């Protein structure tokens, strides 16, 4: 590994691979509605509400509609079995009279939470792997926000400290995995 430090060979292997073999697609539903009669206060509230109700993701996109209307499109992703429930919630919360949806395939990397040491203590790090090769390591945002508050430090600085820990972890993991079955 001395000649390929830092997992560059792993990243390359993963990148050069043309298969997403270990990541079978799941189906998710994407529901969308264009809203020209909802206030931003209502939109913000609805984003939170739909997430509480089980949407996988919810977001608003600025759009321009007829009659010079500066509007937003509201979208959500959900599991197929939650489609009707969330569609009704979206209609009910916003007062919209219609919506549209379609099925999309979704690929999610395998994720494992590790804990890495840092000057701020152990930090939970989400490691995402593709075809069993660790690809990225990212500290959990909520923990960082708490640490920033607790230590009265800028989040910006906490992120950098935690990313250093995540980097160390990822280097170790990719070095290990490249050694394959021979850890000695």
22 binds a second copy (CB under 8 A): no
Cβ atoms within 10 Å, residue 112: 12
Quote the least distance from Cβ 181 to a second copy, whole Å: 24
Phi, psi of 140 (to 5 degrees): -70, 120
Q: In angstroms, rounded to a whole number, what is the distance separating the alpha carbons of residues 134 and 171?
A: 9
Binding residues for a second copy restricted to 94-123, rule: CB under 8 A = 94-95, 97-109, 111, 119-120
- DSSP H or E run through 111: strand 110-116
Binding residues for a second copy restricted to 77-96, rule: CB under 8 A = 77, 84-85, 87-89, 91-95
- The helix/strand/coil state of 129 is strand
- For residues 132 to 151, the per-residue mask of contacts with a second copy, x marking binding by CB under 8 A and - elsewhere, is ---xxxx--x---x--x--x
66 binds a second copy (CB under 8 A): yes
59 binds a second copy (CB under 8 A): yes
């Amino acid at each position: 590994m001395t000649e390929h430090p830092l997992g560059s060979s792993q990243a390359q292997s993963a990148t050069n691979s043309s298969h997403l073999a270990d990541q079978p697609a799941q189906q998710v539903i994407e529901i969308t509605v264009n809203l020209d009669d909802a206030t931003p206060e209502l939109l913000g509230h609805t984003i939170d509400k739909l997430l509480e109700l089980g949407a996988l993701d919810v977001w608003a996109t600025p759009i321009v509609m007829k009659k010079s209307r500066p509007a937003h499109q509201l979208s959500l992703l959900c599991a197929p079995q939650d489609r009707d429930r969330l569609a009704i919630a979206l209609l009910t919360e916003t007062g919209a009279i219609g919506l549209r949806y379609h099925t999309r395939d979704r690929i999610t990397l395998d994720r494992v939470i590790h804990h890495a040491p840092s000057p701020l203590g152990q930090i939970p790090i989400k490691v995402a792997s593709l075809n069993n090769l660790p690809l990225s390591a990212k500290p959990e945002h909520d923990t960082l926000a708490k640490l920033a508050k607790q230590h009265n430090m800028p989040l910006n600085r906490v992120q950098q400290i935690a990313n250093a820990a995540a980097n160390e972890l990822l280097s170790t993991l990719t070095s290990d995995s490249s050694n394959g079955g021979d850890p000695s």
